Structure formats: C-alpha cells, structure tokens
Amino acid sequence: MNRTPVVFIHGAWLHALSWESWAERFASRGFVSFAPGWPGEPLTVEAMWKSSERLADVGLDLLTDHYAKIVDSFDVAPVIIGHSVGGLIAQHLIGANFGQAAVAIAPIPVNDIAPPAPPSGLWLPGQTDGGDPSVHDSSVSLSPEQFHHFFANRISAQESARLFERYVVPTPRRLLADLGYAGSAPGPRVLADVDNADRGPLLLISGQEDLLAPDAATRATYKQYGDSLAVTDLKQFADRAHSLVIDNGWRFVADYVLGWLDEHGLRAHRL
C-alpha cells in the first residue's frame, strides 16, 4: 500500500513555512506532505529577508519547471495544492497531466483573463517607488501595514502582525512582471490547458473579500473550464481574504479540500 503525496506550492510574499499547518493536517490524515520552497529560497524567513537577492532570477518559467520536476519525481502521482501564483502553477501542471489532482486557492488568473489591477497604494513593478526602502532592485516587500490592508484584510491587526512576522518575505520583481503586473502582457507560462478532458480533478477556491486575487477573477477562470469533460469545481468562502491559507480560518479551507479529495476517490493510501 502506497501513501499519496501532496505537494504544496506557496505564492508571492509568503515563505514555504506558510504551509506548516496544512502539511501537519494532511499528514495526520495519512498523506505524505511536501512543501518545497522556490529555487534558492532560504530555509527561514529571517534568512530570506537578509538575502532576498538570491531569488532575483526567479520568474514564472523557472518556478513552473521547478515544481514540474518535483511533481514528476514521485512513484505515486501527487495531489498539487497551490496558493496565489502557486494556484496558477497547479493549474498549469494538472492541465499538462502532472499529478493526479490539483487545488488552486486564490489563484492568479490564467490564459487571457487580465490580472486584476493592484489595489491603490500597493507598489508593484512598473510604478515609481518614490524612494520607498521596501523596494529593491530585485525584490518587492510588503510593510506590515500593507500586508494587513491588502493581504490579510479580514483579520485583526494583532493576528496580521503575527502572521507577518512568521511567514512574510520579499518577492522577486521579475516574477511579478511575468504575471502581468508591470504594464506589459503576462508571460507565456500564464497558461493552463482548460480543454484537457484527460487531466485529473481540479478545485478552484476563492475568498470573496480577496483584494489581490478577487473572487470575480477566480469565477472567470472557472468559466474557462466550462467545455472540459474533466472534473472542475469551484468553492467560494465568504468573508475571506488572500490570507485564507494562513489565518485563523485555514482549517476550514484545508478540511474542505480533504473532503473534496475524498469525494473524488483521492485518498491518502493507494493499493
């Protein structure tokens, strides 16, 4: 009997440690949990703040190839769970027949769906930094206030500050540009094969108060899969923001995913 692996892919401004609760929860249900970092990502949040330039060359191509190799390395095809840009990568991989199922949580939009305009006051590539010390040549950081206002806008300031301290890191400027946040067209890897009828099941999840990956964008992505015969489901969580994988309601989301996997026969052990 083989145990089913689960590969967790984190998104922008979060460290791989952000999956720690999910990894423990899935392991307690019999899955083998893996939360590999991005190429060159230091093992700790503190080290990432000190050496964020190590990820300067990380763009969407490199990230997608990195996780494709990881997912393809298992004897048992894993379940792929991604958040934000990780949700985009999860869709790309399942559409290319990597993994046996995928879950995309608050994903960056795929294909011809335009990325949402960044909220006013959030610095992104293509905008002037105004001398902002949080903006470096190779990376973009969120301040604790920006994180609470744009990322964790449905929780208390105290909880937001705790999450910021534990999980938040700078993100590569190059990646944000590849996603279409630099005033140019998104890169070629902002793609998913929405017509593939032979892929595994896909679950899309949105938070209805998400400012960075709005519910409307996830619903638009869901509609793109409308002609596929493969299983595609959508779950919307009311009153949840982009922080829904790390804030105090993470377990509701994780347990919904576990139930969805079980409903589709994707269990922790395979004969």
Residue 199's identity, in one-letter code, is: R
In terms of DSSP bridges, do strands 2-3 and 101-105 run parallel, antiparallel, or are they unpaired?
unpaired
- Give Dmax over CA atoms of the chain in angstroms: 59
162: left (phi over 0), alpha (psi -120 to 50) or beta: alpha
Taking only Cα atoms into account, the Rg of the chain, rounded to an integer number of angstroms, comes to 17
Paired tokens of 132: 């902002």
pLDDT of residue 135: 46
Predicted confidence pLDDT, tens digits, the chain (271 residues): 689 999 999 999 999 999 999 999 999 999 999 999 999 999 999 999 998 888 999 999 999 999 999 999 999 999 999 999 999 999 999 999 999 999 999 999 998 887 777 666 665 554 444 434 444 568 899 999 999 999 999 999 999 999 999 999 999 999 998 998 766 667 777 889 999 999 999 999 999 999 999 999 999 999 999 989 999 999 999 999 999 999 999 999 999 999 999 999 999 987 6
pLDDT of residue 129: 44
pLDDT of residue 269: 84
Residue with token string 């959508």: 234
Considering only CA atoms, which of 208, 242, 201, 255 is closest in space to residue 84?
A: 242
pLDDT of residue 181: 79
pLDDT of residue 271: 62
Q: Which CATH class is domain 2-270?
A: alpha beta
Q: Note whether 204 and 123 are within 8 A (CB).
A: no
Cα dihedral sign, 247-251-256-260: positive
139 CB-side CA count, 13 A:
21
- The partner residues of 33 in beta bridges, in order of sequence, read 6
What Cα–Cα distance (Å) separates residue 205 from each residue in 20, 82, 163, 194, 213?
Answer: 19, 10, 21, 16, 10
Helical axes 85-95 vs 60-71, angle rounded to 10°: 60
